[in-house]
Amino acid sequence: MVDNPNRREDLEINPVADGYVVYDPDRDRVHYLNQTAAMILELCTGDQASADIAESIRTAYRLDGPIGEQVDACIAQLRNEGLISP
């Protein structure tokens, strides 16, 4: 089974100069995401696997080498914080 992460629809997402401020009404919590985490959250639409998200990040930042583990860790943290559907 391929995991296609999907961000929750009820989040209040506000762009700021260096990322996002995200309000989670279910947990009444505010989260600050840096630019990379914000981009990963944006890519979590349920339409692509985490490997595809990692490739998009690698391309956007013009990185060499694999970054799948780092992106997976970020997705896991976003999921743990309740920003991505379980």
Confidence of residue 60 (pLDDT cuts 50, 70, 90): very high
* CA 46 to each of CA 5, 19, 30, 59: distance values in angstroms, whole numbers, following the listed order: 5, 21, 23, 20
| Average pLDDT, rounded, for the chain | 95
**In sequence order, what are the residues at sequence separation of 6 or more whose Cβ sits closer than 8 angstroms to the Cβ of residue 23?**
11, 12, 14, 29, 30, 31
- The answer, yes or no, to whether residue 2 has pLDDT greater than 80, is no
Q: Which 3 state secondary structure label does DSSP give 36?
A: helix
How many C-beta neighbours within 10 Å does residue 38 have?
19
Give the pLDDT confidence of 14-24 residue by residue, as tens digits: 999 999 999 99
Confidence of residue 3 (pLDDT cuts 50, 70, 90): confident
